[in-house]
């Protein structure tokens, strides 16, 4: 049997310090995620200074642990891949510096990876097969976008949020209801116990593929300000409204682009409600694919898969590449130097 190649991937764009060893066929050999959630919970959101400090604390331990779990040595690595953006500057800097230092010390190629593209590749880890053309729905704490890909890596951004991402709206509604960060999973669970009894808006429902979630979040706040709310019911009404928006836009994209697959990635794709809503047949005959739950939220395995693809199609990246906090998705006319 021919020996598979492996790379080390590092992710530190927000509040997860993560490292993984990934094979060139996207099989995950080891994946370690050190979450900072407990440090940020009481502040109601990620505090950038605390996040970068904790990445500095955790980084070496996470890298050592993933190498040990994979029983891999530095000599066996084909490259080191790392998220260079988008994300929090101080958080990104820690992972990028670690990756550049390891590449220098071990004489390995450096591979710069776009975090958003990492999420798109999360559905292809561990042997999952994706058929193109595909429509992606990326729903996370930082992003909400619909993307068309005629083939792997050739992206056309159909729509994105004009204000809050859907995960951010979940977290803010949770905070209004008195729950700690990140409240998305709590709201999702609570919504199973309530009734859709509040009338909430579906912003931009019929307007192309762009989203807006801040109006929905404000409408929830206005209901809360009236007093006497039933938390379960407000959670249900909010989740139903959000799901309506996401599924309506996806249906429109499927109709227009007729893809083989619909791929739903990012933290909010963990939601069992979203998973069942999008697999109830309402999208038509298309194959609906989700990453396994452990790869829905931020992790380095997805950076490893995107890194392999980047490395094999474009080669190593320049090691004087800076961090790119506002990086967007590479679009269909990507040039060799683009991510
Ligand atoms: O992908 P991710 O880890 O980070 C970003 O790249 O932003 O996503 C985190 C987001 C948070 O907003 C969190 O509340 C949300 O994903 N989330 C959920 C669920 N699990 C995580 N939202 C709804 N239902 C869930 N079960
Ligand atoms: Zn993410």
* pTM of the full structure: 0.94
pLDDT at 44 over 90: no
Q: How many CA atoms lie within 13 A of 80 on its CB side?
A: 26
Among 258, 274, 266, 17, CA closest to 117: 266
Paired residues of 22 in beta bridges:
7, 28
Confidence of residue 336 (pLDDT cuts 50, 70, 90): very low
Mean pLDDT of 8-28: 97
96 phi, psi to nearest 5 deg: -65, -45
User: pLDDT at position 2, please?
Assistant: 60
User: pLDDT at position 43, please?
Assistant: 87
pLDDT at 338 over 80: no
pLDDT at 331 over 90: no
Mean pLDDT (the chain, rounded)? 94
Give the CA distances from residue 322 to residues 204, 235, 277, in Å, rounded to whole numbers and listed in that order.
Answer: 36, 41, 40
Mean pLDDT of 79-86: 97
Could you report the per-residue pLDDT of 108-128, keeping only the tens digit for each? 999 999 999 999 999 999 988
Q: Which atom of ligand 1 is nearest to the CA of 183?
A: 14
Strand stretches in 73-188, DSSP E: 77-85, 110-114, 134-139, 144-149, 155-160
Could you report the per-residue pLDDT of 294-330, keeping only the tens digit for each? 999 999 999 999 999 999 999 999 989 999 999 998 7
Rounded CA gap, 248 and 290, in Å? 18
> 125, 295 in Cβ contact below 8 A?
yes
Mean pLDDT of 162-186: 93
Segment among 67-71, 79-83, 123-127, 327-331 with least mean pLDDT = 327-331
Could you report the per-residue pLDDT of 184-243, keeping only the tens digit for each? 999 999 999 999 999 999 999 988 999 999 999 999 999 999 988 999 999 999 999 999
The residue whose C-alpha atom lies closest to atom 16 belonging to ligand 1 is 267
Rounded CA gap, 212 and 116, in Å? 19
Q: 294 is written with which tokens?
A: 């452990």
Q: Which atom of ligand 1 is nearest to the CA of 13?
A: 6
- % residues pLDDT > 70 (the chain): 97
What spacing in Å lies between the alpha carbon of 20 and ligand 1's midpoint? 20
CA 226-227-230 angle, 5° bins: 115
Strand stretches in the chain, DSSP E: 6-11, 16-23, 28-35, 77-85, 110-114, 134-139, 144-149, 155-160, 261-265, 287-289
Q: Which atom of ligand 1 is nearest to the CA of 296?
A: 1
Q: 117 is written with which tokens?
A: 């593209």
pLDDT at 179 over 50: yes
Q: 241 is written with which tokens?
A: 């409204």
What spacing in Å lies between the alpha carbon of 141 and ligand 1's midpoint? 5
Could you report the per-residue pLDDT of 234-290, keeping only the tens digit for each? 999 999 999 999 999 999 999 999 999 999 999 999 999 999 999 999 999 999 999
Confidence of residue 41 (pLDDT cuts 50, 70, 90): confident
Q: Is 204 in the pocket of ligand 1 (CB under 6 A)?
A: no
Rounded CA gap, 36 and 107, in Å? 31
Q: Is 185 in the pocket of ligand 1 (CB under 6 A)?
A: yes
User: pLDDT at position 127, please?
Assistant: 87
Q: Which ligand is nearest to the Cα of residue 293, counting in written order? A: 1
């Amino acid at each position: 049997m021919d020996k598979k190649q492996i790379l080390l991937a590092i992710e530190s764009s927000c509040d997860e310090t993560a490292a993984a060893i990934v094979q060139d066929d996207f099989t995950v050999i080891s994946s370690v995620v050190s979450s900072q959630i407990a440090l940020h919970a009481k502040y109601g959101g990620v505090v950038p200074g605390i996040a970068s400090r904790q990445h500095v604390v955790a980084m070496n331990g996470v890298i050592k642990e993933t190498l040990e779990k994979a029983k891999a040595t530095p000599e066996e690595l084909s490259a080191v891949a790392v998220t260079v953006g988008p994300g929090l500057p101080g958080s990104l800097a820690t992972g990028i510096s670690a990756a550049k230092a390891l590449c220098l010390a071990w004489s390995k190629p450096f591979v710069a990876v776009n975090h958003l593209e990492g999420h798109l590749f999360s559905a292809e880890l561990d042997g999952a097969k994706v058929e193109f053309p595909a429509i992606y729905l990326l729903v996370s704490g930082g992003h909400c976008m619909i993307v068309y890909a005629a083939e792997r890596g050739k992206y056309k951004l159909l729509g994105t949020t004009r204000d809050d991402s859907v995960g951010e709206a979940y977290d803010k509604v949770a905070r209004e209801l008195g729950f700690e960060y990140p409240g998305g999973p709590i709201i999702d669970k609570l919504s199973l116990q309530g009734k859709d009894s509040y009338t909430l808006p579906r912003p931009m429902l019929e307007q192309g593929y762009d989203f807006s979630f801040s109006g929905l979040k404000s409408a929830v706040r206005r209901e809360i300000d009236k007093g006497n709310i039933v938390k379960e019911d407000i959670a249900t009404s909010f989740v139903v409204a959000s799901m309506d928006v996401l599924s309506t836009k996806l249906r429109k994209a499927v109709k227009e682009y007729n893809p083989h697959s619909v791929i739903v990635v990012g933290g909010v794709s963990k939601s069992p409600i979203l998973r069942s809503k999008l697999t109830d047949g309402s999208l038509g005959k298309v194959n609906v694919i989700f990453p396994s739950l452990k790869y829905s939220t931020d992790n380095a395995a997805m950076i490893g898969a995107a890194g392999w693809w980047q490395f094999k199609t474009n080669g190593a990246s320049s090691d004087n590449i800076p961090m790119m906090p506002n990086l967007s998705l590479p679009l269909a006319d990507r040039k060799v130097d683009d991510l």
